[in-house]
Every structure is written in structure tokens, then in C-alpha cells.
Structure 1
Amino acid sequence: MNKKEINPNWLDRNHFPFESKTQTIDGNTVHYIDQGSGPTLLLLHGNTSWSFLYRHIIQLLSSNFRCIALDYPGFGLSTANDSYSFKPQEHSAIVEQFADQLGLKDISIMVQDWGGPIGLGFAGRRPELIRAVIIGNTFAWPAQRSKGMSMFSKIFGSSIAKFLIKRYNILVKWLIPAGISRKLSEAELAAYFGPFPTPESRLPTWVLPKEILGSENYLTEVESNLKNLKDKPALMVWGLADGAFGTAELISFLEYFYDNRVCILPKAKHFIQEDSPIEICGAIKKMLL
């Protein structure tokens, strides 16, 4: 296990001006940000990203909330143990243990992309810890019912894709710019590309596309446990310019949560935290304060 640096040379701290902290969980070094005070807001990223994705939201909300954003082992500044699988079920277990180690309660949890199945899996198992859910463009059920997601999994979870991802980092280099409406600066791109400098470090970004179809049993469990959250206040912050998750997924989530409200982000692509942080934060404040 090659431990990652907390202040690597590819990370411009002017763009990420937060104190980095770590917790050791099952032999993994889990990096996280714990900024501000007030009600707890747990921020969970998806594939190819890390807590850097939430930097604007943390800056905008840390005067009202205790903003906590962690990196799953293998992502961002977190380090995985030698036997870690990088599968969503294991990431979700890490989030649960992380919440227990920090003694988190009355949590408002924000999820997006793979953060949805990972975070809602945790929330559904431990609903007594959850105050509210904020759901960005994501899913929380088996992907076999979606032709688009199934095709994405078959293509990017293939052995050919594994070679290209490990050799050339193609998923990160394509998905980050394609999933954001504005043009990122060189420092911002470096922060997204930096966690994956070697072929082995890029493996986690291949595992998750493969597990869109491969984790059917876990995703079935996540969907089943949504009933435990049905009465929690739910905010859907949904980017309409996202090519991965559209209005069909949004409508599905509205059916699972009775106390729901929607914040539509017309121009936001997949990484809504980059494209519409002001609108997202305004909606969160309106619901929780």
C-alpha cells in the first residue's frame, strides 16, 4: 500500500483551502474535510472525483453547517489497503464506519453519481442517523432496467476499457471535462487528474463502471432499504444537461420520498457541484435552516 501525500504537488491549496484530516478504517487511510459548525452535512462524491468536487459548496455553507466530505479508499487523498475491492458495497461500509468513528448523528447527506448507491445504502441501513437527504444526478437501484447504463457498464467495464483506463487514464480525462459546463482551469484539472498518476492507481475508476451491472445484488438491497427513508425530507438537485441521469431517474426518486422538493438546474451537466453550487446551496439552506 503506497500511502498518498496529504499535500501533493499537483494540488493547489488556493483552490482547496481546507485542513485535511484522516481516519484509519479497516487498514485504509480515509482522507476527509471537516469544515464549519452547525447541523452536519455529509457530502459524498462519485466516480473519477473526490472531496475537491465539493469545495465551492463547503465554502458557501460552512458558516451554517458542519460540512464533512470524505474520499473513498483509492480516490482523492485516501489510500486503500492491499485487499480493498473498490466496489460500491465496500465504499458504503467505509462511509458507515466513518460516521460511527466520528459519532455523526442527525446527518443531512448529499449524494451524486456513485455517491447515490454508496450513500443511500448507508442511509437506508442506518436511518436513525439521517435527518434529510439531498440527491443529485444519480441512481439507487439495479441498472439492468436501463439500456443506457447497461451499455455504459458493458463498454467501460470491459477488459479493453480496463487496459485503456489503466494505461491512459481515459475515463478521468474524458468524464471530468465532459461533465462540466464551464472550462476548468489548469489547476482544477490537475486536482482531478492528480489522484491517478499510475496504472494501478486508476483501477478504482474502472471497477465502478463494471459494477454498474456487477453489483446487482447490492443495488437491489439499496433500493429495498429506500423504504426506511421514505419519510425523511428529500431535496432533489437535478442537472438537466447531464448525459448520464435524466428526468426518468428524477421521477423515480420522487416516488420513493414522500416529503420531497425539487431544485432544477437547467444548465448543469453531470458534476452539478461544479456548475451550480450557488443554486444548490440556496436550496439546501431553504430546506434545512
Structure 2
Amino acid sequence: MTRADATFGSSFPYAPHFTDVPGYRMHYVDEGPRGAAVVLCLHGEPTWGYLFRHLIPVLSATHRVVVPDHMGFGKSDTPPDRSYWLQDHIDNLERFVLSLDLNDITLVMHDFGGPVGMGLAARHPDRIQRVISTNGPTPFGQADLVERVTANAGVSPWFQWIAKAEADGSLEPVLGQLGFNILSTLKLNGFENHTLITDTWLDAYGSPFASTAECLGAIGWAKGFATGAHRFETPDAAADRAIRSRPAIAIWGEADRTLHAEHFLPLFTQIFPSAPVQRLAGVGHYCLEDAPDKVGRLITDFIQQT
């Protein structure tokens, strides 16, 4: 687990906050005026709130920016007696949001933060004001969800590796050493901005996975896909109608080798047929790393316009 006071050369200078509401010690950033509308940033695999370090100061002058680390990631605990499936992360986020009574939420979702955020939206549509996907899938009860996930897995090096590694028994040993192979994992998923790679940057992304025991979150997310253990949330009719009426935007790095636009952007447009879609050429899966200024401007402009 990353130290609570770690700032990584002042690149992540945000005060740490913690809560035990989800049943473990969960870390989150909470910047900006407390009475303002909320921007809730949800990371994915194998990142943490550090992914949003450039976006937080852009939005916190006018919004309350809340950035939790999922169980087993970042500065949050990695309890040994918990499961790490999608439904567990949705449960944790729900408890967190209700405990802080967050409302007027703009969701900013990356990677598996997408399914987690959409799970929250399905359960509490009244709390959601906007939906922003940044290379984050938006499953919301679509009939072709499994078909699209399966088709994507056939062309994604990451998902191909997950299936092979689970079959030959190497998934847990390899991801159990994620602190050492973090760069190769990020690169496999589609990380393009090599100018960012420094010892400090590698420490920021590798430090949460310093031991096998601290890699359960990363292992769980991959293993859940390999074994079919993840359960996507399905909204009821009222929640479906409510979320479809919200302003939304998709921002997608086209060099994403893990979540291919052709398979996942249709999930977004099925829910939000009139919403803008910004496809970023030459930008990879980690669009908030590859093009933070561009993504920040798109998010800021969208919030102002809506």
C-alpha cells in the first residue's frame, strides 16, 4: 500500500482522506468547495487516483472533486478476506457515496471505473447529473454487452493474456509481481506518452503493489473476467430512463489496445445517441496520461456547456 503522505515529488500534493464505511480503510481525495456540485473520478486497472492528478486542479476551483481509490488500489487497503469482483467495487462505492451524501455528481470514469460508475448510476440515478467516459465502458443493461465484451477480448492483447494466463496458472504469479512489471502492464494496455516515464512516475504506479498480498485488487479484476465472476449492474426502467436523459460525453483515445473503440463506443451511443463523442488520434488507453491537457479542456468545456 502506498504511504498516506506520499506525494511523489509533489506531483500528487492532495491531502489524504480516509473512511472505513466500505468495511476497509478507503482513501480518497476531496478538493474544492464542499457546497459545490461534485465531480466523482473513478480509476481502473492497474491505476489509482494518481491518474487524475492533472484534472483535479482544473476542476476544483468550481467543483468538489472527489477521487476514491478502489479496494486494493492506491492508498486504500487491500483486505485479504474480501473478493474483488465488479459487484464488490460497486457495493463499496455506493457505501462511500451515501456516507458522504454526494449529490449532483458528474461521473468521470476510466477503464473499470466505467462499469463501477454505471453500477452506481443504476442504483442511484437521482444523484447523477452528468456522465463522462474517458476510455471507460458504459454497460447499462444492453442486450449485446456480452457479445461486445467477447469480440473485444478476441483482439485485445490484455484480455488475450488474461485468458491464457488463467488457463496455464500464471495469472496470479505474474500480477502478484505487479510492482515490478507495472510499466509492461501499462504498455500492454495502450500507454503512448513515453516522455512521462521517470523513476517518480514508476514509483507512483508501482508502489501500491509492493508485495503479492497487495496485488489482490489487480489480480481480482483480471481473474474476474477470466472466470466470469464479474456481474454487471442492470438498471430498472426508471433508472434507465433517468440516466438516458443526462448530459454525457465520451472521450476515447483511439490507440487503446485494451478497450477498442469499435466495440465499446456503441455501448455509450446506445444510451446517449445525441451525446458528443471525441476520438483522440494517437492517444492510448490511459488518455488522462497521454493527453491530460486535451482531456481536461474537453471535460471543462462540457461541464460549462451543460
TM-score, normalised with respect to structure 2: 0.85
Distance 1:284 1:74 in 2: 28
Query: Structure 2 residue aligned with 1:272, among 287, 293, 296?
Result: 287
Pairwise CA distance, 1:160: 1.2
- Whether 2:74 is the aligned partner of 1:76: answer yes
Contact 2:18–2:27 under 8 Å retained in 1: yes
Which stretch has the larger CA shift, 52-61 or 214-223?
Answer: 214-223
- Asked if residue 27 in structure 1 is aligned to residue 23 in structure 2, the reply is yes
- 3-state DSSP class of the match of 2:13? coil
Q: Name the structure where strand makes up a greater proportion of residues.
A: 1
| 1:196 counterpart = 2:220 | no
What is the aligned counterpart of 1:229 among 232, 240, 243?
A: 243
For the pair 1:245 / 2:251, whether they are aligned, the reply is no
Q: Partners of 1:45 and 1:76 in 2: how far apart?
A: 10
Partners in 2 of 1:12 and 1:188 — Cα distance? 8
Q: How far off its partner does 1:220 sit?
A: 6.1
Asked if 1:87 is matched to 2:62, the reply is: no
Deviation of residue 86 (structure 1)?
A: 1.4
Gap change, CA 1:173 and 1:203, over 3 Å in 2: farther
Residues 1:168 and 1:40: Cα distance change in structure 2 (over 3 Å): closer
Query: Is the contact made by 2:84 and 2:217 (CA closer than 8 Å) also made in structure 1?
Result: yes
**What are structure 2's unaligned runs of at least 5 residues?**
140-144
1:129 and 1:220 map into 2 onto residues whose CA distance is 16
Report the CA distance shift for 1:256/1:216 in structure 2 as closer, same or farther (over 3 A): farther
Q: Does 1:41 align with 2:39?
A: yes
Instruction: Report how far residue 80 of structure 1 moved.
Output: 3.5
- 1:137-176 superposed matches below 5 A: 137-139=135-137, 140=139, 141-142=145-146, 143-146=149-152, 147-148=154-155, 151-158=160-167, 159-167=169-177, 169=179, 172-176=182-186
Per-residue deviation at 1:176? 2.3
Task: Give CA-to-partner distance per residue, 1:226-253, whole Å, 9 cap, x none.
Answer: 5552111111011011111222211331
In 2, Cα distance between the equivalents of 1:144 and 1:226? 24
Query: Alpha carbons of 1:121 and 1:156: their partners in 2 closer, same or farther (altered >3 Å)?
Result: farther
Q: Which AA in structure 2 matches 1:280?
A: V
Rate the CA distance shift 1:131–1:117 in 2: closer, same or farther, 3 A. same
Change beyond 3 A, Cα 1:58–1:220: closer
TM-superposed deviation, 1:161:
1.7
Check the 8 A contact 2:248/2:275 in 1, yes or no: yes
Identify the range of structure 1 (142-151 vs 238-247) with the bigger mean alpha-carbon deviation.
142-151
Q: What is the CA deviation profile of residues 143-169 of structure 1, one whole-angstrom value per residue up to 9, with x for unaligned ones?
A: 335423663441344421211221465
**Is the 2:177–2:209 Cα contact (8 Å) retained in structure 1?**
no
- The ranges of structure 1 where at least 4 consecutive aligned residues each deviate by more than 6 angstroms after the TM superposition are 222-225
| Candidates 276, 282, 287, aligned match of 1:261 | 276
Cα shift readout 1:54-108 (whole Å, capped 9, x = no counterpart):
0001122222221111101110000133422111111111111111111100100
Task: Tell me, yes or no, if the aligned pair for 1:113 and 1:137 is still in contact at 8 Å.
Answer: yes
RMSD: 2.4
User: Can you give the 5+ residue segments of structure 1 that lack an aligned partner in the other structure?
Assistant: none
Identical positions, percent: 25
- Answer whether contact 1:153 1:211 (CA < 8 A) is retained: no
Contact 2:38 2:64 in 1 (8 A): yes
In 2, the alpha carbon distance for the partners of 1:154 and 1:226 equals: 32
More displaced 10-residue stretch of structure 1: 231-240 or 210-219: 210-219
Question: Which residue of the other structure, out of 122, 125, 142, is the alignment partner of 1:124?
Answer: 122
User: Relative to structure 1, is the Cα distance of residues 33 and 217 closer, same or farther in structure 2, using a 3 angstrom cutoff?
Assistant: closer
Partner residue, 2:299 = 284
Does the 8 A contact of 1:233 with 1:259 survive in 2?
Answer: no
d(CA) in 2 for partners of 1:89 and 1:199? 23
